[in-house]
């Protein structure tokens, strides 16, 4: 029965309001001005479903010496020394009832901007692209990828 | 309500929505009553993590005993069975699945969009059983052509006469290797296959595709939370002139007046309204010839062996397709008439019920089979029979004091034989594809569960054996139309929504034409 699957899959809400983050982080500076690649900070561990937030140690690799007088960096440093994760607020999230793999999409040659927009131009991380079942299906159709229900959703057993 | 409208539309789903869309654009002043609330899906749907739900997504036990599709995520969507009861004979259960919201079941439909063919419209000519429709494929084809772009139906043209091609967004998706193997096997055994044909978009509902344009004309008054009790009749003219309804929340009684009525409240609700109104039943067939389509879910669950242990190479798994009816087209099966179709898909993980193990052993077996599944679901034609019917249960009422339905539907030898044949055929196709068969069965879901209930106000050329004529107009009352699945004379194994939309568009244009001629 695909009825329920389709209904639930359409629940993903799209909002242009950026969530408040625990530390002011500028993608515009890091990915734009410094031209860092996305995967420099966001690694994709096996099996590859998720991209991840960078470890605090990764940030501190640079910020132990760069801009360490900044209040924001000092907050970052406290998370690092306290061995706590920075509670970043996720901007994009695919529901748990959708099979989603970053690795599959990256391996197929898709770029980050296709789903996330021009993040390198953003001072504050904001949802630029709608992520709904409709937008997924449109992209799949354009790229000649299956839109079969079971391609993204589990079939009830 | 003091205003007299040109047309009263009851129901806001596929049929009611299309009636409103067509009639208002043609200039009719319409009022639409729907028993449910008006929702804004963008604002009112909330995504919650399963860990935040008291029953972890499974839902409160016993809340929806007949809605196997319900889960805790979607619990507020389904019609409450205590407020909206119905009855059936013990031992002969019927699973009536309802949504009472503006937009109806189009808020959640599976979107499969197949045309019927003359194998259905002229079914009696083909095999001698039942009755032909009073229309044929060529009568409805121009309306299918117009409905498909509205609902952005994606598909692939094949030239199969049993599922005529349409006005599709081209589906040129590639098939995974396991699907290609299965398609090769089907070709060897002369079983036809194609891509799914589905409406696309984030929401493909009456609520976003039909009602906004109808409201924009300024000709539609939408009244949510209006539970219709019965239609009213002008005894002087013998025509219907409105409906009595109850406000769902306050339970206040109202009456609305109209020059014509279009019933699109869903197959069984429209029939219930007519039975409670004691109208349109000179034939004695109102409520009879109830049928649907039977499902055998996961008739075969197989495994693609090369994918075991997470070793599936890229492009091996994923995707699926559709097998249209192939039985009893040019040849005759000895055990049954008509036919069935399959949905098939790959890449699923077989659930724990497929393994005879417990604890760590079960865990390991399931991990080994992760993402290896290949399964088929059968959708079979159910024969329309007079003996399958609904009637009013005079001893019980719903939460608004309206008498409820008693439903009686049984599957017969033809459906059982078809289900068994579908299991054997699916098994042969999977084996020929080199898949391991994990399980097979031919147990049909209970009547109703496919949510494709049809008939009970069927069309026909003979007013003594049918409720509606070929324009969805009741034989008895010229200004009364029924446009939902109740009109079906036979249904094939194709999902019915696309046909309901096309029939409604056709009927609505006819209504306006007749109205202008003064013939209603």
Residue A4 has pLDDT above 80, yes or no: no
- Inter-chain residue contact A96 with B200, CB threshold 8 Å: no
Phi and psi dihedrals of B29, rounded to 5? -85, 115
- Inter-chain residue contact A150 with B348, CB threshold 8 Å: yes
Encode burial over B364-392: b for 16+ CB neighbours within 10 A, e otherwise.
Answer: eebeebbbbbbbbbbbbbbbbbeebbbbb
* DSSP state letter for B248: T
Residue A3 has pLDDT above 70, yes or no: no
- Inter-chain residue contact B107 with A146, CB threshold 8 Å: no
Residue B177 has pLDDT above 90, yes or no: yes
Q: Which residues pair with B155 in a beta bridge?
A: B170
B136, B118 in Cβ contact below 8 A?
A: yes
CA distance B39 to A30: 42
CA B105 to chain centre: 8
pLDDT higher for B100 or A10? Answer: B100
Question: In residues, how long is chain A?
Answer: 157
Taking CA A20 as the corner, what is the angle to CA A17 and CA A21, rounded to the nearest 5 degrees?
A: 130
**B9 class by beta-carbon count within 10 Å (0-12 exposed, 13-18 middle, 19+ buried):** buried
Residue-by-residue DSSP string for B101-159: BTTGGGGT---B-----HHHHTHHHHHS-S---SS-HHHHHHHHHHHHHHTTEEE----
3-state secondary structure B465-494: CCCECCCCEECCCCCEEECCHHHCCCCCCC
Residue-by-residue DSSP string for B407-462: EE----HHHHHHHHHHHHHHHHHHHHTTPEEEEE---PPPTTTTS--B-SS-B-S-
Taking CA A121 as the corner, what is the angle to CA A119 and CA A122, rounded to the nearest 5 degrees?
A: 70
Phi and psi dihedrals of B271, rounded to 5? -65, -40
How many residue pairs from chains A and B have C-beta atoms closer than 8 A?
125
Which of B42, B111, B354 comes nearest A6 by C-beta?
Answer: B111
Confirm or reject contact between A142 and chain B (CB < 8 A): no
- Inter-chain residue contact A156 with B297, CB threshold 8 Å: yes
Flag whether A66 is in a domain: no
Instruction: Provide the domain limits for residue A98.
Output: 3-53+88-152
Least confident among A43-52, A108-117, B317-326: A43-52
| Min Cα separation A59/chain B (Å) | 30
Average pLDDT value over all residues in chain B = 96
ipTM computed for the complex: 0.72
Instruction: Assign B482 a pLDDT band (cuts: 50, 70, 90).
Output: very high
Residue A9 has pLDDT above 70, yes or no: no
- Inter-chain residue contact B110 with A144, CB threshold 8 Å: no
Confirm or reject contact between A15 and chain B (CB < 8 A): no
Looking at the 3D structure of chain A, how many domains does it have? 1
CB atoms within 10 A of CB B419: 22
Structure-block tokens of residue B93 = 């259960």
Per-residue pLDDT of B10-33, as tens digits, reads: 999 999 999 999 999 999 999 999
Is B1-36+114-152+203-282+454-520 assigned to CATH 3.40.50.2000?
no
| Min Cα separation B46/chain A (Å) | 7
Options 3.40.50, 1.20.272, 3.30.410, 1.10.340; CATH of B160-200+291-388+398-452: 3.30.410
Contacts A90 to B, Cβ<8 Å: none
- Inter-chain residue contact A147 with B321, CB threshold 8 Å: no
Confirm or reject contact between A144 and chain B (CB < 8 A): yes
Per-residue pLDDT of B454-463, as tens digits, reads: 999 999 999 9
Per-residue pLDDT of B84-97, as tens digits, reads: 999 999 999 999 99
Flag whether A78 is in a domain: no
pLDDT at A155: 65
Instruction: Assign A48 a pLDDT band (cuts: 50, 70, 90).
Output: confident
pLDDT at B269: 98
pTM for this model (two decimals): 0.91
Domain boundaries, chain B: 1-36+114-152+203-282+454-520, 40-100, 160-200+291-388+398-452
Instruction: Assign A148 a pLDDT band (cuts: 50, 70, 90).
Output: confident
CA distance B39 to B106: 13
pLDDT at B358: 95
């Amino acid at each position: 029965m695909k009825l329920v699957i389709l209904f639930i899959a359409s629940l993903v809400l799209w909002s242009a309001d950026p969530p408040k983050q625990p530390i002011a982080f500028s993608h515009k500076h890091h990915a734009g001005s410094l031209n860092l690649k996305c995967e420099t900070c966001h690694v994709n561990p096996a099996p590859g479903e998720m991209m991840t937030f960078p470890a605090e140690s990764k940030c501190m690799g640079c910020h132990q010496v760069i801009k360490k007088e900044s209040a924001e960096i000092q907050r970052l440093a406290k998370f690092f020394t306290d061995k706590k994760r920075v509670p970043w607020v996720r901007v994009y999230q695919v529901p748990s009832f959708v099979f989603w793999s970053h690795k599959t999409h990256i391996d197929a040659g898709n770029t980050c901007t296709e789903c996330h927009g021009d993040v390198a131009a953003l001072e504050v991380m904001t949802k630029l692209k709608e992520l709904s079942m409709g937008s997924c299906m449109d992209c799949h159709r354009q790229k000649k990828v299956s839109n079969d229900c079971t391609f993204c959703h589990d079939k009830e057993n | 309500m003091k205003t007299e409208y040109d047309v009263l539309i009851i129901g806001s789903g596929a049929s009611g929505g299309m009636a409103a869309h067509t009639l208002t654009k043609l200039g009719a002043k319409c009022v639409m009553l729907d028993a449910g609330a008006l929702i804004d899906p963008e604002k009112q749907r909330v995504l919650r993590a399963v860990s935040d739900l008291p029953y972890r997504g499974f839902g409160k036990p016993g809340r929806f005993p007949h809605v196997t599709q319900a889960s805790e995520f979607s619990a507020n969507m389904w019609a409450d069975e205590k407020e909206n009861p119905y009855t059936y004979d013990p031992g002969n259960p019927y699973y009536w699945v309802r949504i009472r919201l503006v937009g109806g079941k189009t808020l959640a439909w599976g979107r499969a969009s197949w045309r019927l063919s003359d194998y259905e419209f002229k079914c009696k000519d083909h095999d001698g059983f039942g009755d032909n429709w009073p229309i044929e494929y060529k009568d409805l084809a121009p309306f299918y052509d117009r409905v498909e772009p509205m609902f952005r139906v994606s598909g692939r043209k094949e030239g199969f006469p049993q599922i005529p091609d349409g006005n599709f967004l081209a589906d040129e998706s590639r098939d995974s290797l396991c699907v290609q193997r299965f398609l090769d096997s089907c070709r060897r055994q002369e079983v036809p296959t194609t891509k799914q044909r589905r409406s696309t978009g984030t929401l493909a509902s009456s609520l976003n595709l039909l009602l906004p344009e109808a409201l924009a004309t300024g000709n539609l008054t939408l009244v949510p939370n209006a539970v219709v009790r019965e239609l009213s009749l002008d005894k002087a003219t013998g025509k219907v002139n409105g409906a009595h309804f109850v406000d769902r929340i306050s339970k206040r009684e109202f009456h609305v007046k109209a020059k014509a009525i279009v019933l699109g409240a869903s197959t069984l609700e429209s029939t219930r309204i007519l039975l409670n109104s004691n109208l349109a039943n000179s034939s004695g067939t109102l409520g009879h010839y109830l049928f649907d389509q039977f499902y055998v879910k996961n008739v075969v669950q197989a495994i693609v062996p090369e994918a075991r242990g997470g070793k599936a190479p890229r492009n091996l798994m994923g995707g699926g397709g559709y097998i249209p009816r192939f039985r009893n087209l040019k040849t005759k099966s000895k055990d049954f008439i008509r036919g069935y179709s399959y949905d098939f898909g790959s890449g699923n993980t077989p659930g724990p019920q497929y393994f005879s193990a417990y604890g760590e052993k079960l865990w390991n077996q399931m991990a080994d089979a992760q993402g290896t599944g290949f399964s088929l679901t059968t959708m079979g034609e159910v024969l329309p029979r007079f003996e399958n019917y609904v009637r009013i249960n005079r001893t019980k009422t719903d939460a608004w004091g309206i008498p409820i339905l008693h439903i009686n539907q049984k599957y017969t030898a033809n459906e059982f034989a078809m289900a068994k044949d579908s299991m054997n055929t699916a098994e042969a196709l999977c084996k020929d594809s080199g898949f391991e068969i994990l399980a097979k069965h031919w147990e049909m879901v209970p009547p109703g569960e496919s949510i494709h209930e049809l008939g009970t106000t069927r069309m026909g050329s003979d007013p003594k054996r049918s409720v509606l004529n070929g324009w969805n107009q009741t034989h008895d009352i010229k200004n009364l139309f029924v446009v939902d699945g109740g009109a079906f004379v036979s249904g094939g194994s194709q999902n019915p929504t696309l046909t309901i939309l096309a029939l409604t568009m056709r009927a609505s244009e006819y209504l306006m034409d007749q109205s202008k001629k003064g013939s209603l």
